[in-house]
Amino acid sequence: MRKKIVAGNWKMNTTLPEGIELAKAVAAKSAETPSSVDLIVAAPFTHLASIADLLKTSKVELAAQNCADHASGAYTGEVSADMLKSVSCKWVILGHSERRQYYGETDAKLVEKLKLALGAGLGVILCVGENLEEREAGKHFEVVGAQIKDVLYNFTAEDMKHIVVAYEPVWAIGTGKTATSDQAQEIHAFIRKALADKFGAAVAEDTTILYGGSCKPSNAKELFAQKDIDGGLIGGAALKAEDFIQIAKSY
């Protein structure tokens, strides 16, 4: 059975004291969520070491929002996969559309990042998704299919045990506009098929595929009821512990 996951992506929000408060609140309420649902919070780099300690006694796992495409050395301002591992991160989000859009993250760079992250023993949440123009032109399958192939087809079935895919239509991120559950299900099934084509049906069946994009307490239940939607990557609603936990309780 593949894992159900609800992951919060805090993005560039919260000062350290605010982040600590949020982490404490999420950890405290995490016991209310079903044991079948794993919880992850992806905090800013500056918060990771402090938050790791706070989460230790809860079910909440820690993620970073990015890592470097080099192992170590003269790359000023970058944070390596090994560094994340050393502060007790279990996961790293890679290929978020904001990284692709504002920081020139390409699929080729993502392959390097994934190799380093997996090599460091981190799990990876790989984000894929089309923008509005691509959706309106009916190119979403083509775009998402290419992202899956160009990144994940460079890895093995064994690697896939440590990789979660997050489908996040760019037009739904932070816009309040959610994909309908049918739209999301359709593309999740397509992603699972693309994984089956390369890695076989068993690996595809075991891969967790999350939906992200204006997922909130009011729509999580309907989205999570879909056969191929295994949880969510939550942005805005993850900044309120209550909402985040409510989303996880939708299962």
**Count of CA atoms in the C-beta half-sphere (13 A) of 208:** 25
* 168 flagged as catalytic: yes
| Identity of the residue, 42 or 203, whose beta carbon is nearer to ligand PGA in the bound complex | 42
Among 19, 123, 213, 217, binds ligand PGA (CB under 6 A): 213
CA distance 164 to 207: 6
Among 215, 220, 223, 241, binds ligand PGA (CB under 6 A): 215
The least CB distance from residue 197 to ligand PGA, in Å, is 26
The least CB distance from residue 217 to ligand PGA, in Å, is 12
**Count of CA atoms in the C-beta half-sphere (13 A) of 17:** 0
Q: Is 40 in the site for ligand PGA (CB under 6 A)?
A: no
Q: Give the count of residues interacting with ligand PGA (CB under 6 A).
A: 13
Which range, of 31-39, 104-112, 196-204, 211-219, touches ligand PGA by CB under 6 A?
211-219
* 140 flagged as catalytic: no
CA distance 106 to 95: 8
| Phi-psi category of residue 229: left, alpha or beta, with phi > 0 → left and psi -120 to 50 → alpha | beta
The least CB distance from residue 147 to ligand PGA, in Å, is 15
| Amino acid in the structure at residue 62 | L
> Which positions ≥6 away from 231 have C-beta within 8 Å?
3, 4, 5, 6, 7, 37, 38, 208, 210, 211, 224, 251
Binding to ligand PGA, residues 222-251 (CB under 6 A): 233-237
Mind telling me the catalytic residues?
Answer: 96, 168
